[in-house]
Structure 1
Amino acid sequence: MPAGATRPARDICSDCGLCDSRWVAYVRRACAFLHQGFEAMEQAAHGRSRDLENEDELYFGVSRTMATARLRQPLEGAQWTGIVSRIGVRALESGLVDAVLCVQQSPDDRFTPVPILARTPEQVLAARVNKPTLSPNLKVLEQLPGSGIRRLLAIGVGCQVQALRAVQNTLPLDQLYVLGLPCVDNVSRAGLQTFLESSSRSPDTVVHYEFMQDFRIHFRHSDGSTETVPFFGLDTPRLKDVFAPSCLSCFDYTNAGADLVVGYMGAEFGRQWLVVRNGLGEQLLDLVRPELDMAPVTSRGDRRAAVQQGIDAYDKAVKLPRWLAELVGAVVQRIGPKGLEYARFSIDSHFTRNALWVRRHHPEIAERHIPAFAQRIVSRYRLPST
């Protein structure tokens, strides 16, 4: 698409990159923000759609198995232990794939994403650590024709995976594997700077950060030090509108179209959550299974009261003084939801917020845009008037 052209999804475009490739002709049926097709996508990728009467599938999508894990020998420089990067490396080393679609960073800015078709383990490792900004991953599909790449592992977030699945059968590939990351609340580069400046003691030295299961944001700095800030201490009035409109209208937190999902949200603190959705996901997990310390998923606590309180606090843009935020954080960390219940807390909190945002900002699409599973979850809570 020519520079400066209006994206078909307009203000809720996630800049997934499809419009920057020759597959732009498919965008009106492929874009997650123009066309929601969860059931068809799940059926095509996994052989069936999620069972809405099964509480786990209602929240987390189609799954064969769920577990938690960490690498016994963590990768140096990885954001957590490095499971995603290790899978990418093993996929290349084993000959399972010819390339890995992943995201490196600009040499000029650590948070500016640079999508790449990595052909070597070194290129995959150079992509470790999340970049919490909108990333045009799918623009590198343009490089596939004539590249010799016939088997591809694509690592991406939900909106990218939805678009990729929609054009999968038109790609010059013999096999596609999809490793998904749970994703929520990305920002533009300018928005990220606002977030860092309002949240961290040293915004210019932050290497990576994550909203973690202990209800704190964990910042890692370039000197190796770690800084934590309670969720409840964020400058909500300043940050309320900093997240990308695409993220405020997204309901694919758990990456429903991926073969295998790796993230932190459904695991106890210090571990990663694994969701195997189909046989291809099993193949990806088998690449690293011998290197993992694995354990069953767990679930403790009750999220519902905390979610309802959070809905009201966010809508009113409440900002707590730091001492009170620390106190609330300590209490919630001790008695709050853990494991899968924490994941449901996070999903409930974001789905209710996003449903309210869509109904207020795009009422003309709300009915068709909010998928059935999200509507069922949102209906369990009392939302402010639109």
Structure 2
Amino acid sequence: MTAQIPAHKKAKGLPRGNVRPAKDLCSDCGLCDTHFIHYVKEACAFLNQQFDQLETRVHGRQRDLDQEQEMYFGVHQKMVAARKTEPIEGAQWTGIVSSLACKMLEEKLVEGVVCVQNSPEDRFQPMPIIATTPAEILAARVNKPTLSPNLTILEQIEQGGFKKLLVIGVGCQIQALRAVQDKLGLEKLYVLGLPCVDNVTRAGLQKFLDTTSRSPETVVYYEFMQDFKVHFKHEDGSTETVPFFGLKTNQLKDVFAPSCMSCFDYTNGLADLVVGYMGAPFGWQWLVVRNETGQAMFDLIADQIETQSVDSKGDRRAAVQNSIPAYDKGVTLPMWAAKLMGVVIEKIGPKGLEYAKFSIDSHFTRNYLYTRRNYPEKLDAHVPAFAKKIVSQYKLPED
């Protein structure tokens, strides 16, 4: 008897450059480049928002909206601030993500790690791979702050016969992955999530660098940090800082991808373990263990890191409410005023988890407005219940 060919294997991915089913809301996650496009109507985060179902499938339950920490940060067992005791040279932080990936490979818990190197021609052009050696993982260290088609590797998983895999990715990629993971033939999938917000195309990134940095061509990486400044690392090892409030918002308002402007999964709620910075003190990273698989991943590197409890100080609400019309109108302050405001807010503004909530609130209110104005027909179904509750705390402008 001839084995039946799965329906998705009869499908063909779209060639690069073709319009995707989500059209201008496509986040370029890579799913539609493969025959897994067969599942796009169910799997795409921008065609079918399904947080409740996927949280239950992955974590065994939905987040509790009556618990503020869960409403903001998703299902989790614990959160800590951490940093490696022996940092990896050249890592964007101390190298927790790279160290965990290498450890899982070395311990043979996985046969491959889906991560993102850069193309040989351009340090900011993402090149997704399935790494099978620690050297390949280390070559992927440092974030690539552009839309990255990580899921282009889905067919390679099948072709390579991988059974145990670690996938590192951002929210839109992980939602699509979770929706199709039972079609991949895997025995075990581990998901290490990165918080993600305000991503751009490669052209959009260049505009951001050109309008913000003193030396765009030498920027190695950058990050929006807890001190309310953008930190640019340059080739000579120097660090350049620019206050959030000094960004040329009037020129950059439209640089972000429409998918990112309508995304509500900042904290990567469907990952097993999340590694970011937004809830940690300056210089530390924020680790969120969501389930037992995430705890097992955390335990693997427990002897390589020092940890401390997460903290929360200040009150974000007034700053968020004031930021809504400021962003909406593209307000750009003179640099002297931006620096002064940055100093004041750094001293009296939100810290730790309160800073994380400030960032979530300010982005969710902005994204809710963007979705309401540009995709009103999608608003109710697309915005998850937790995001609606968060946004409801603020007064939004009438259109």
Q: Same-fold call, TM > 0.5?
A: yes
Is 1:138 the counterpart of 2:154? The answer is: no
Is 1:375 the counterpart of 2:388? The answer is: yes
Give 1:4 shift: 4.1
Q: Which residue of 1 aligns with 2:5?
A: none
Q: For 1:209-248, list aligned pairs within 5 A.
A: 209-248=222-261
Is 1:24 the counterpart of 2:33? The answer is: no
Do 2:197 and 2:266's aligned partners in 1 also have CA atoms closer than 8 Å?
A: yes
Helix, strand or coil at the partner of 2:301: helix
Q: For 1:82-93, list aligned pairs within 5 A.
A: 82-93=95-106
Q: Which residue of 1 aligns with 2:272?
A: 259
Q: For 1:150-165, list aligned pairs within 5 A.
A: 150-165=163-178
Equivalent AA in structure 1 for residue 316 of structure 2: R
Give 1:6 shift: 2.1
**Quick one: distance in 1 between partners of 2:388 and 2:149?**
29
Q: For 1:122-201, list aligned pairs within 5 A.
A: 122-201=135-214
**Quick one: distance in 1 between partners of 2:135 and 2:121?**
20
Q: Which residue of 1 aligns with 2:23?
A: 10
Is 1:69 the counterpart of 2:65? The answer is: no
Please give the per-residue CA displacement for 1:356-384, whole angstroms capped at 9, x wherever unaligned.
00001111111111111000000110111
The TM-score with structure 1 as length reference comes to: 0.99
**What is the number of residues matched between the two proteins?**
386
Give 1:258 shift: 0.1
| Structure 2: tracts of 5 or more residues without a match | 1-13
Q: Which residue of 2 aligns with 1:48?
A: 61
Give 1:22 shift: 1.5
Equivalent AA in structure 2 for residue 138 of structure 1: L
**Quick one: distance in 2 between partners of 1:240 and 1:141?**
34
Equivalent AA in structure 2 for residue 149 of structure 1: F
Give 1:8 shift: 0.8
Helix, strand or coil at the partner of 2:261: helix
Match of 1:335 among 338, 344, 348: 348
Match of 1:121 among 114, 134, 142: 134
**Quick one: distance in 2 between partners of 1:143 and 1:175?**
16
Please give the per-residue CA displacement for 1:205-239, whole angstroms capped at 9, x wherever unaligned.
00000000000000000110000000000000100
Q: Which residue of 2 aligns with 1:208?
A: 221
Do 2:313 and 2:350's aligned partners in 1 also have CA atoms closer than 8 Å?
A: yes
**Quick one: distance in 1 between partners of 2:261 and 2:46?**
11
**Quick one: distance in 1 between partners of 2:183 and 2:124?**
32
Give 1:35 shift: 0.5
**Quick one: distance in 1 between partners of 2:276 and 2:34?**
28
**Quick one: distance in 2 between partners of 1:236 and 1:385?**
21
Match of 2:70 among 31, 35, 57: 57
**Quick one: distance in 2 between partners of 1:4 and 1:298?**
45
Is 1:291 the counterpart of 2:304? The answer is: yes
**Quick one: distance in 2 between partners of 1:3 and 1:38?**
28
Is 1:98 the counterpart of 2:111? The answer is: yes
Equivalent AA in structure 2 for residue 9 of structure 1: A
Give 1:5 shift: 3.0
| Structure 1: tracts of 5 or more residues without a match | none
Equivalent AA in structure 1 for residue 366 of structure 2: R
Equivalent AA in structure 1 for residue 54 of structure 2: M
Give 1:2 shift: 2.9
Q: Which residue of 2 aligns with 1:249?
A: 262
**Quick one: distance in 1 between partners of 2:72 and 2:15?**
38
The CA RMSD over aligned residues, in Å, is 0.7
Give 1:17 shift: 0.3
Helix, strand or coil at the partner of 1:6: coil
